[in-house]
Amino acid sequence: MSKTAVITGASRGIGEAIARRFASVGYDLVLTCINNIERMEKTAAELSASYKVSVRCFKADMGDEESVERIFDCIDRVDVLVNNAGISYVGLLQEMTYEDWREVMSTNLDSVFLTSRAAVRKMLSVHSGRIINISSMWGLVGASTEAAYSASKGGVDAFTKALGKELAPSNIQVNAIACGVIDTDMNSRLSSEEREELIGEIPAGRYGTPAEVAELAHMLANAPAYLTGQVIVMDGGLT
């Protein structure tokens, strides 16, 4: 029987790269996004044709409980859950509204709780599963003018460590990838000067790529079961 991977925020960037990597090794996919559904469906059709796998797409807010429950009601089994959906907010804290704060927390942290809860219910029945949370180095060290984003990713890291302990007796592994500066649309707001200055601070001398994050996610899906509750930093040596 084919394995199934659920990947949130899969319309572009890291999520799309992870979908491509898992499809390439024969996983059936369940992909979600809140925007860009047409792009995600195009990718799904391409992956299905290229790798002969099932790919289902859902447009939904993964920070909404009813939406998450509806999607997981359509899924028979979950072998791997990749929580990638995320947004950022750049600006001074005193200028941030509560609505802005809640949007970041709902998308980046509430979604991880909701999808993990739904997936775990299915994983427990087979005493097996992998949860991989896409986090950020800013959850570890904090980023100026990104207090909400940093707080949400710090929450993801703590959630990963706690849930890893909780589920270890059930043979379900929970790990996170704390990404550094990855070449995605989220970082495209930087000017060329800012980009070059940032690259100069990264020991590896470049941005990371979505494909590299996808490769690490695939490695975690196949890692020894004794590896759980870990936040693995992938930042080119920056922190």
Structure tokens at 31: 């992909």
Q: Average pLDDT for consecutive 10-residue bins of the chain (239 residues)?
A: 95 98 98 96 98 98 98 97 96 97 98 98 98 98 96 98 98 98 81 88 97 98 98 96
pTM of this prediction? Answer: 0.96
CA 107 – CA 63 distance, rounded (Å):
5
Contacts of 191 (CB under 8 A, 6+ apart): none
Q: How far apart are CA 70 and CA 73, in angstroms?
A: 5
Task: Tell me the two tokens of residue 110.
Answer: 């509430």
Return the pLDDT at 20. 98
* 196, two tokens: 């070059």
Residue 193 confidence (pLDDT): 87
pLDDT (0 to 100) of residue 21: 98
| Annotated active-site residue in 27, 51, 98, 149 | 149
Q: End-to-end alpha-carbon separation of the chain, Å?
A: 41
Question: What SS3 state is found at 14?
Answer: helix
C-beta atoms surrounding 114 within 10 Å:
24
The answer to whether residue 27 is catalytic is no
Longest CA–CA span in the chain (Å) reads 53
The per-residue pLDDT for 49 is 98
Q: Which CATH architecture fits 4-234?
A: 3-Layer(aba) Sandwich (3.40)
